[in-house]
Amino acid sequence: MKTALAFWFLLTLTGCGMSDDDELTQVRATDRVEKLVRDTAGALTPRPQLELIPVSVPPTACLDKSESLQKIVVSRAYWLRGVDRNQHMVVSRQVADYWKEQGFQVIAKNAQPDNPDLSGITEPDKFILALTWGSGDHIYLAATSPCVWPESYR
């Protein structure tokens, strides 16, 4: 769980300041992160069952110093259930291929055997994507929005 939380902090930090799109609302950002994860999972064989990681649901503060302190980032992370450990690297390659097919940038590939750690960024809207190994030999997909104004601010 420590690995997941540490990576979660990294996603929150890197999701900030990626776009000045004033039209991106919290609701639209939430829809987009859900779609990014679900579409990626839908491209995988075998198709995993998605299990929401509850800590990923509440919006978190935008940590980018160049952005308003009132802005937030929206994230979602899902465990990929039904993917055996011996399939982790196969799934990682499928995810990287799918992201590239979508025109996304794969910005980091770090992995120990059977423990994928892959991140990407969508174009042109700059959402952060990740496929990461967590404790218990499970992998999860996550997506984080650029900094947005919370709905309560509007």
Q: pLDDT per residue over 71-115, tens digit each? A: 999 999 999 999 998 999 999 999 999 999 999 999 988 767 767
**Chain centroid to CA 13: how far?**
12
pLDDT at 136: 83
pLDDT at 154: 64
Please report which helix (H) or strand (E) contains residue 141, including its range. Answer: strand 138-144
Residue with tokens 């990682």: 92
pLDDT profile of the chain (154 residues), mean per 10: 44 45 84 98 96 96 86 97 92 96 92 82 96 90 96 78
CB 140 within 8 A of CB 129: no
Please report which helix (H) or strand (E) contains residue 48, including its range. Answer: none
Specify whether domain 2-153 bears CATH 3.30.2030: yes
Q: CA triplet 2, 37, 143: central angle to 5 degrees?
A: 50
Alpha carbon distance 114, 59 (integer Å): 31
So where are the chain's domains? Answer: 2-153
pLDDT at 153: 76
CB 101 within 8 A of CB 72: no
Looking at residue 20, the DSSP 8-state letter turns out to be -
pLDDT at 114: 66
pLDDT at 2: 44
pLDDT at 87: 92
Residue type, 36: L
Question: Which tokens belong to 70?
Answer: 């009132």
pTM confidence score: 0.83
